Amino acid sequence: MPPAAPDGAHVHLEHGEFPGEFTYCPMCGHELGSRQAGGKERKACDSCGFVHFRNPGVGAAVVVRDGRGRILLVRRGPTATRPGLWSIPAGYVDYGEDVRAGAARELQEETGLTADIGPAVWVATNFHDPAKVTVGIWFAAEVTGGELVAGDDAEDAGWFTLDELPPLAFETDEAYIASLTAM
C-alpha cells in the first residue's frame, strides 16, 4: 500500500500500482491495452480509442464539536472499511450531488443528526483503500436537529475529548485532529 501523505507531501504513483483498474473497455468491451496519454502510461482501448483517466473519488466528512469542545465520532460497522474503529462521520459524494449536500446526507445517515454545513476545514488525499483513492474534504458543521443514533454503516456514535480518543480508522482523521490540538 502506498504511503499516506496527510502532511501534504506528494506521493508518486505508478501505473498499475492500485487494484481495481479496468480490464475491458467500458465503451466497447474490448480488452484494454495501454499507451501514453497526459504524460502517463494509461489503460487504453486500441479498438475505439477510449483512454481511462482514473481519477480519485470525492469524500465528505463532517466535523461537529459540542459546547465542551468534544468531537463527534462514529464507530465503523461490520460492512464499512476498517470495521470497529472510529472516524469522523463521512462518506462518498454521489455523482451529481453537491459536496456540501453529500456531507449533510452522510452525517444524517451515520448519526441521525441534521446540520448546517459550514466551511471546509481540511482537505487530504485518502490512500487507505488502494482500489478507491479519494480526495476528502472535512467541513465544520453546526447541528440543527435530529437525535444522535448510529445508522447506515456506523454501529455507534459518540462525543470524545481530543485527549481521550478511541482508536481511529484513518490517518487523515488523525492528522486533522492533531491539527486541532496544535492550535
What pLDDT does 3 receive? Answer: 37
SS3 121: strand
Domains along the sequence of the chain with CATH: 15-54 (no CATH), 57-181 (3.90.79.10)
What pLDDT does 22 receive? Answer: 85
Local mean pLDDT, 10-residue blocks, the chain (183 residues): 41 54 90 91 93 90 97 95 95 95 98 98 90 92 97 95 96 95 77
Instruction: Count Cα neighbours of 97 within 13 Å in the Cβ-side half-sphere.
Output: 17
Placement of cell 488523525 in the chain: 174
Distance CA 119, CA 138 (A): 9
Give, in degrees to the nearest 5, the angle at Cα 83 between 163 and 110.
Answer: 75
